[in-house]
């Protein structure tokens, strides 16, 4: 019984420490704002230089734009069943078009260029998420296998689910990690030195060093939690999607959780003119959440 007050004191001190970390990221009374629920399944939010957010409604095969003026518009019909997306430095939208297992670049006018259509003659499983290395030095993609009802194929054409890298100016990808069970979310740091990859199949997220040639080294376990999509802020905190949004500091410690009232939270990015509003795709809906910290892109 004499140890109980000490335990309570420790818990209170720990709780206060975590709370103080959370308070700097967003106001404690901030709630997720539902802005639309007109979709079938939302995914892949990506922000352009002006703060407009583009996202997919994958079952309906469209890419939507949510402007900084708060208005929705269709950016691209017949969007290749695009999933994860990310803008390059030239304003092209890089998309994981998993209808045919391709990687696309879509210019601001909606013109499509296929960057990748296979790996050594084999169809990709279904490119899922993507990150563009700063300076347009190359593109990283995750390639898990999720059977789609719009595919005619019923099994993988490859011998695993891997992470690939497409070097700048090249037309063939290279494998940079083939040891994951089911890689999904991916994001890198603003300085281009580190990459985070979620192995949702093994409920883990890893951090890598990025070598000058784009290959990866020094893989370490960042946190024992996998996720769907992810993003990162200017403080280096990583945001993991799945059961709401879990915020993890650069040390791999959970410091906050944003509950989203939907069956699944798929993906996330920072948007808005100041890049200080989380744009969250969750099941049939999209939400915003005001932050006190900004995104890196």
Has residue 19 been placed in a domain? no
pLDDT computed for residue 22 by the predictor? 64
- Into how many domains does the chain fold? 1
Q: Model pTM greater than 0.95?
A: no
Contact (CB, 8 A) for 144 and 161: yes
Has residue 24 been placed in a domain? no
Strands 194-199 and 204-210: antiparallel
Has residue 11 been placed in a domain? no
Q: How far is CA 1 from CA 6, 8, 17, 78, in A?
A: 10, 11, 25, 67
d(CA 109, CA 100): 22
DSSP string across 58-87: GGGTEEEEE-TTS-EEEEEES-TTEEEEEE
Alpha-carbon torsion, ordered 98, 101, 105, 107, to 10 deg: -50
Has residue 26 been placed in a domain? no
Q: What count of other Cβ atoms lies within 10 Å of the Cβ of residue 292?
A: 12
Q: Which parts of the chain fold into alpha helices (H)?
A: 4-23
Has residue 197 been placed in a domain? yes
Q: Which domain holds residue 135?
A: 32-290
pLDDT computed for residue 288 by the predictor? 99
* pLDDT, tens digit only, all 297 positions of the chain: 444 444 333 333 343 344 345 648 999 899 999 999 999 999 999 999 999 999 999 999 999 999 999 999 999 999 999 999 999 999 999 999 999 999 999 999 999 999 999 999 999 999 999 999 999 899 999 999 999 999 999 999 999 999 999 999 999 999 999 999 999 999 999 999 999 999 999 999 999 999 999 999 999 999 999 999 999 999 999 999 999 999 999 999 999 999 999 999 999 999 999 999 999 999 999 999 999 999 996
Has residue 12 been placed in a domain? no
pLDDT computed for residue 220 by the predictor? 99
pLDDT computed for residue 6 by the predictor? 43
As given in the structure block, the two tokens for residue 150 are 């719009």
pLDDT computed for residue 23 by the predictor? 47
d(CA 218, CA 247): 23
CATH number of domain containing 188: 2.120.10.30
Contacts of 45 by beta carbon, 8 Å cutoff, 6+ apart:
53, 54, 55, 85, 229, 267, 268, 269, 271, 279, 280, 281, 286
Has residue 248 been placed in a domain? yes
b/e per residue 7-46 (b: at least 16 CB within 10 A):
eeeeeeeeeeeeeebeeebbeeeeebeeeeeebebbbbbb
Contact (CB, 8 A) for 35 and 67: no
Has residue 242 been placed in a domain? yes
């Amino acid at each position: 019984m004499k140890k109980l007050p000490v335990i309570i004191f420790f818990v209170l001190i720990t709780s206060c420490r975590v709370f103080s970390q959370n308070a700097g990221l967003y106001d404690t009374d901030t709630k997720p704002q539902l802005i639309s629920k007109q979709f079938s399944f939302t995914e892949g939010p990506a922000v352009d230089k002006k703060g407009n957010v583009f996202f997919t409604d994958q079952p309906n095969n469209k890419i939507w734009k949510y402007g900084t003026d708060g208005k929705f518009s269709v950016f691209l019909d017949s969007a290749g069943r695009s999933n994860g997306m990310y803008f390059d430095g030239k304003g092209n939208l890089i998309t994981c078009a998993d209808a045919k297992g391709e990687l696309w670049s879509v210019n601001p006018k909606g013109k499509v260029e296929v960057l990748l259509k296979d790996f050594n003659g084999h169809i990709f499983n279904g490119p899922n998420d993507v990150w563009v290395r700063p300076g347009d030095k190359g593109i990283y993609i995750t390639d898990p296998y999720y059977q789609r009802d719009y595919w005619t194929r019923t099994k993988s054409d490859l011998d695993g689910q891997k992470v690939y890298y497409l070097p700048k100016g090249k037309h063939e990808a290279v494998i940079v990690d083939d040891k994951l069970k089911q890689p999904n979310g991916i994001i890198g740091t603003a300085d281009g030195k580190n990459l985070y990859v979620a192995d949702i199949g093994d409920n883990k997220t890893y951090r890598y060093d990025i070598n000058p040639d784009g290959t990866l080294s020094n893989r370490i376990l960042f946190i024992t939690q996998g996720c769907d999509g992810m993003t990162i802020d200017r403080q280096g905190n990583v945001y993991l999607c799945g059961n709401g949004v879990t915020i993890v500091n650069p040390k791999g410690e959970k410091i906050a959780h944003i509950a989203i009232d939907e069956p699944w939270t798929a993906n996330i990015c920072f948007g808005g003119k100041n890049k200080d509003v989380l744009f969250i795709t969750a099941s049939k809906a999209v939400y915003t959440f005001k932050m006190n910290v900004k995104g890196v892109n």
